[in-house]
Amino acid sequence: MAITSFFRNTTFISIPDGGASNPYPSIINVSGTSGSLTKLTVTLTNLNHLWTNDLDVLLVSPTGAKSILMSDVGRDSTSLTNVTLTFDATATSNLSGSDAISSGTYRPTNFDFDFDFDGFDDPDFFDFPAPERPYNTDFSVFNGTNPNGEWRLYIVDDVDFDSGNVAGGWSLSITTDPGDDSNNNLQGTIVDDMITGLGGNDTLTGGAGNDTLVGGAGVDSLVGGAGDDVYIVDSAADIITENANDGVDTINTIVSYILGDALNVENLTLLDGATNGTGNAANNVITGNSAANILNGGAGNDTLVGGAGNDTLDGGAGVDSLVGGAGDDVYIVDNTYEIITENANDGADTIKTSVTYILRDALNVENLTLLDGAINGTGNAANNVITGNSAANILNGGAGNDTLIGGAGNDTYYVDNTADIITEVDNGGNDSVLTDANYALSESVENLTLQGTATINGTGNAANNIITGNSAANTLTGNAGNDTLNGGAGNDTLNGGAGNDTLNGGTGIDSLIGGAGNDIYHVDNTADIITEVDNGGNDSVLTNANYALSEFVENLTLQGTATINGTGNAANNFITGNSAANTLTGNAGNDTLNGGAGNDILTGGVGKDALTGGLGVDRFDYRTLADSVFSNFDVITDFNATTGNDLLVVSTVTSFYDAGAVAIFSTSEIAKNLPATVFTANSAAQFTLGTGANIRTFVAINDATAGFNATTDAIIEVRGLTSPLGLNNFTTALV
């Protein structure tokens, strides 16, 4: 059991150039200690002198015991500048008698040497009222005495010409031993005390002053009192009592510890081992050790210092300062005003955050984890690992070779380096990469957007990708999946790969390659090139320009409101007009043409075609009669025969004849109703088949030879008639 009390006299001590100091002596009055003195240390603060070995310093106790602190030390001509010397009988070394003196802790040292220019060595001498010789350097003369009373410090400069001072005064550390291993009740003084318990359940009361209370073994009760007190705790069962506003107090502990709100202690230091510390509602300073600690500040604006070890620092509520130190540290952050301090090369550190967070370059933290909610994370110049959560996150690695892990949610990744790695889970949302570098989508990421103005390329994966180019010439490749490729500006190359893809080159002269699957091409330039393979699916072009289908593309849709035209190929095409006046041409194949709104011109071409004029006054072009003969006759689905409406365009028609009904649809039956006498050269006729709701109407158009010929004369089925056909429904003018 021990109590160590600290007593100070900070009064400036002046040392003249020869003679006694002022004051002489300097006095410290010790009071309030109990028990006998067991240990003493003396400190001179900020000692200055031009000639070190001129000085002699003597300490005298209240009982008259005396000891030299220093005499004739150091080397001739060396000086002391703001040197602080502590004298302790248990120190490992003496002051030097031949070298310069520096601040530190030393044994009392007396070289008993005084050169006074008379050629003789004289022993130390202190002016009255200092006690007379003999003087020793043995602090044991103080042991066992009562330390209460006046302690006197005598300083003499024993040679003329040089002066100095003790600018910071002096202090005493006095340890007494008033107790034992039983349950002791020890009371400190009004100054700074260190009270140490041994075994037993002790009660230690510091009183006034900045006290240090060491409970020792047992369940101890530690009462700090006023002042900035330090509690040394070895058991969470120790009871600490502090009043509010009684100073800034600290617990130093070897066990995991929680600062309760009622404790009125502000600071916590973990002394040893993988222990944990938790703060309270005050502004705490919590300090870890060299092991792996978990520090939690609780409420308040806290300062957490991890030290060495792989620490976890959670500031809790408030604006906190988190200092990780060496090791792979984890910071828990709940607001962007938290201050994080990490030195370079101090481990691979991680911030776990519940708010959107940016890893600044100066932060020296490598990794970032988003804890909850639709928040975002941005990296720095290091090789970051940034991990999202189950919500929709935006992850931006910044410079460096970064690893971005999205998790569930519709995540967005910003990539500036082809070495960046993106990790996504299957069915983890609809995710997107935005990049200004060449990039190929990793597994389970759906969308890719090229940014900037550089000529870069984008490649998809097996999912249904949306890939968007930038303003430069990009190559976009969908690979497997039903992909949507948007080239943007520039002369782009789009390759859909397998799957039902949608390819939109955007502005520029683009090359669009669909691959297998039912592909859709958006075309805005007649110079765009579409490449399809035979039997590569049922493909479609959507365009707002004049367009002729390339080989192996089946369908064409005119968009917008401009007067544009669409032309098919040898396949069975579906060609659809827009709201303007379009010219639609099927060419070979069994085509389906739909003019939509507008006054359209529809030409089926060779093959069994279906023509729908739609709204407007439409013209159906049969100037080539072989386009619709008996074996492959066309069907007009919505012919309006009212005067001033739809027209059949022919090379020449001189007469029109109603041939009545045919019993069956055969060449012989039709020829019977269209004899040469009525179905004259360059004439047209109408006949019907069936009755009632099943009645069908056909138009026959003759060439220059009278009579019906199934291989040279046109046969057209006309549906949706609003009135009987007549010569007025024919014209030789295309427009």
What total number of domains does the chain contain?
A: 3
Residue 113: pLDDT over 70: no
pLDDT at position 1: 60
Q: Strand pairing of 696-701 and 683-689?
A: antiparallel
pLDDT at position 180: 62
Report which of 600, 621, 615 is spatially closest to residue 716, judged by C-alpha positions. Answer: 621
- Residue with the bigger pLDDT between 734 and 323: it is 323
pLDDT in tens, 566-588: 999 999 999 999 999 999 999 99
pLDDT at position 179: 58
Q: Is residue 123 part of a domain?
A: yes
SS3 728: helix
Please give the full DSSP string across 516-534, using - where no structure is assigned: SS--EEEE--TT-EEE--T
pLDDT at position 517: 96
Backbone angles phi, psi at 655, to 5 degrees: -155, 165
pLDDT at position 347: 92
Residue 318: pLDDT over 50: yes
Report whether 340 contacts 324 (CB < 8 A): yes
Q: Which residues of 660-687 are buried (b: 16+ CB within 10 A; e: fewer)?
A: eebeebeeeebbebbeeeebbebbbbbb
Please give the full DSSP string across 103-121, using - where no structure is assigned: SEEEB-EE----B-SSS-B
- Average pLDDT of the segment spanning 165-179: 89
Report whether 429 contacts 448 (CB < 8 A): no
Mean pLDDT check: name the lowest of 28-42, 106-120, 410-424.
106-120
| Residue ending a domain, choose from 403, 429, 455 | 429
- Average pLDDT of the segment spanning 255-273: 93
- Average pLDDT of the segment spanning 334-339: 93
Residues 6+ apart with CB under 8 A from 91: 105, 106, 107
pLDDT at position 117: 40
pLDDT at position 553: 97
SS3 594: strand
pLDDT at position 635: 99
Residue 158: pLDDT over 90: no
pLDDT in tens, 628-642: 999 999 999 999 998
| Residue ending a domain, choose from 413, 429, 445 | 429
**Alpha carbon of residue 455 to chain centroid:** 28
SS3 361: helix
pLDDT at position 722: 77
Please give the full DSSP string across 142-206, using - where no structure is assigned: GTTS---EEEEEEEEE-STT--EEETT-EEEEEEE----SS--EEE--SSEEEEE--SS--EEE-
Report which of 544, 620, 556, 638 is spatially closest to residue 589, judged by C-alpha positions. Answer: 556
Q: Is residue 568 part of a domain?
A: no
**Residue whose tokens read 């109408």:** 686
pLDDT at position 209: 85
pLDDT-based confidence at residue 119 (cuts at 50, 70, 90): very low
pLDDT-based confidence at residue 543 (cuts at 50, 70, 90): very high
Q: How many CB atoms lie within 10 A of CB 14?
A: 14
Residue 120: pLDDT over 50: no
pLDDT-based confidence at residue 278 (cuts at 50, 70, 90): very high
pLDDT at position 181: 63
| Residue ending a domain, choose from 126, 157, 176 | 176
Q: Is residue 137 part of a domain?
A: yes
Q: Is residue 661 part of a domain?
A: yes
Residue 207: pLDDT over 90: no
pLDDT-based confidence at residue 705 (cuts at 50, 70, 90): very high
Residue 121: pLDDT over 50: no
Distance CA 171, CA 29 (A): 11
Q: Is residue 623 part of a domain?
A: yes
pLDDT at position 191: 79
Q: How far is CA 651 from CA 367, 677, 684, in A?
A: 79, 21, 12
Q: What is the mean pLDDT of the chain?
A: 93
Which residue range forms the structural domain that includes residue 674? 617-731
pLDDT at position 186: 74
Q: Is residue 43 part of a domain?
A: yes
Cis? peptide before 62, omega within 30° of 0: no
Q: Is residue 547 part of a domain?
A: no
pLDDT at position 182: 66
pLDDT in tens, 38-91: 999 999 999 999 888 889 999 999 999 999 999 989 877 688 999 999 999 999
pLDDT at position 280: 95
Residue 124: pLDDT over 80: no
Residue 17: pLDDT over 50: yes
Q: SS3 letters for 645-693? A: CCEEECCCCCEEEEEEEECCCCHHHHHHHCCCCCCCCCEEEEEEECCHH
Residue 118: pLDDT over 60: no
Tokens of 412: 């967005």
Q: Is residue 475 part of a domain?
A: no
pLDDT in tens, 465-501: 999 999 999 999 999 999 999 999 999 999 999 999 9
pLDDT-based confidence at residue 116 (cuts at 50, 70, 90): very low
